[in-house]
Copies of this chain bind each other. A is one copy, B any other.
Amino acid sequence: MSRAGVTGSAPTGSAPTGAALTGAGLTGAGGPDGELLGRVFLTRVLEPGDGTAGRWVREWGVGEMVRRLRGGGTAPAGVSGQRWAGLLARARQAEPERDLEVARAAGARFVCPGDAEWPGQLDGLGDGRPLGLWVRGRAGLRMWALRSVAVVGARACTEYGAHMAVTLAAGLAERGWVVVSGGAYGIDGAAHRGALGAGGATVAVLACGVDRPYPRGHTQLINRIAEQGLVVGELPPGDHPTPSRFIVRNRVIAALTRGTVVVEAALRSGSLVTARAAQRLGRHTMGVPGPATSAQSAGVHELLRGEATLVTDAAEVVELVGDMGDLAPVRRGPVLPRDLLAPGARQVLAALPGRECATAREIARGVPTTEDDAIARLYELGALGYVERHGDGWKLTRQAMTSVRGGRDVC
């Protein structure tokens, strides 16, 4: 059975991901592959974050939902005929097998609820949970999201804001944290660049198809993120962003991460939507202060007058998000036995020196693999508690050393 959307290197630590292009199909009763193909179909028909449709999916199941939309019958009780007709029109155009092929050609896979790579914290979005996520990049999304922080802010940022975003993201990357942002101009771009520049891990959550970088001026940046990090989105290949899609995208950024830092935001900025979503989800909400005279800091200051915490550097962010008890496995050593690690991750782990630090490049040479691949594995191993980043180097955690020496894993 062929696997749709699996790139050359399968995500570490994740179980089989992808959908059958043939076999159990859209009209079948389901099964894992039918479920996945059904969800791919639904990402083409339903708008992201549509809570009503999400409720249908929950109540009827994916198979039944697909059947109703494919069948072209009358609207369910309580749904306007016009709305239902719009969905049926979209359903007639949907070609999920083709979407998976296009995605695969662009190096993207489709990850959906129930997959080993699915970040469980997205379930906090309830019926507004994504139907699935299109993912470009070699790292495992679930592992990376475990130790991630969102750094977001204004498109029209000041030099001060850009400086803070770069510095903060670099500092987070140096502490082994994954920086999540929206790939936009301004603060978002600065955050991604800060993480990349520090040889760190970053995730761009787009409001369009992951094969269609937006904004166009960030095509190179987003492709670079797909190489060294992950590019993620709810929309099927080729789909374009709209103002409302930017807004609903923000809930995914908030839900994926342990906390959201807003670097600069004017009053009524979209970044405040991300921050408020994070608050509703019980995540940490943080803001970087700026001059009280700066309109680009006014939205952040409004947040800080509420529940958000003021942060001025990466250490303060980590102090907050790292203190989440059972969500911070890295502080207490490995949480997954070594023999359950994916082969790629096991090889990288084996290439680490006993007690010394090594750079990602040195480790990659020892495997051997590419530096980008080594970085992807190292951040996953970091999330699992095996390794820690120290400045530019990586080393085994004390607990990992004990478990390696003792021949046993700490679970």
- A residues within 8 Å of B by Cβ? 160, 163-164, 288-293, 297-298, 301, 304-305, 309-313, 316
Contact = CB atoms under 8 A, between A and B. Distances in A.
B313 A309 contact: no
Contact of A305 (B291, B305, B310): B310
Contacts of A164: 292-293
A316 B312 contact: no
A289 B305 contact: no
Contacts of A298: 312
A297 B291 CA distance: 10
A305 B160 CA distance: 21
Contact of A289 (B304, B309, B313, B316): B304
8 contacts: A164-B293, A289-B301, A289-B304, A290-B292, A291-B291, A301-B312, A305-B311, A305-B316
Nearest to A289: B289
Q: 6 shortest A-B CB distances, which residue pairs?
A: A289-B289, A292-B312, A304-B310, A305-B310, A301-B312, A288-B292
A288 B292 CA distance: 7
A291 B293 contact: no
Select the residue from A163, A289, A290, A301 with max chain B CB neighbours within 10 A. Answer: A289
A163 to B, nearest CB: 7
Given A304-B304, A305-B316, A316-B305, A163 B293 contact: yes
Given A289-B297, A291-B291, 20 more contacts: A164-B292, A164-B293, A288-B292, A289-B290, A289-B291, A289-B292, A289-B310, A290-B290, A290-B291, A292-B312, A292-B313, A298-B312, A301-B310, A304-B304, A304-B310, A305-B309, A305-B310, A305-B311, A305-B316, A310-B310
Contacts of A316: 305
A313 B164 CA distance: 24
Contacts of A309: 305
Contacts of A163: 293
A289 B293 CA distance: 10
Nearest to A316: B305
A199 B169 CA distance: 47
A317 to B, nearest CB: 12
Contacts of A312: 292, 298, 301
A295 to B, nearest CB: 11
A168 to B, nearest CB: 9
A310 B288 CA distance: 12
A263 to B, nearest CB: 9
B291 A160 contact: yes
A53 to B, nearest CB: 40
Contacts of A297: 289
Contacts of A305: 309-311, 316
A59 B316 CA distance: 48
A306 to B, nearest CB: 10
Contacts of A313: 292
Select the residue from A160, A292, A313 with max chain B CB neighbours within 10 A. Answer: A292
A311 B310 CA distance: 13
Contacts of A291: 160, 289-291
A287 to B, nearest CB: 9
A179 to B, nearest CB: 17
A288 B289 CA distance: 9
A69 to B, nearest CB: 49
Contacts of A289: 289-292, 297, 301, 304, 310
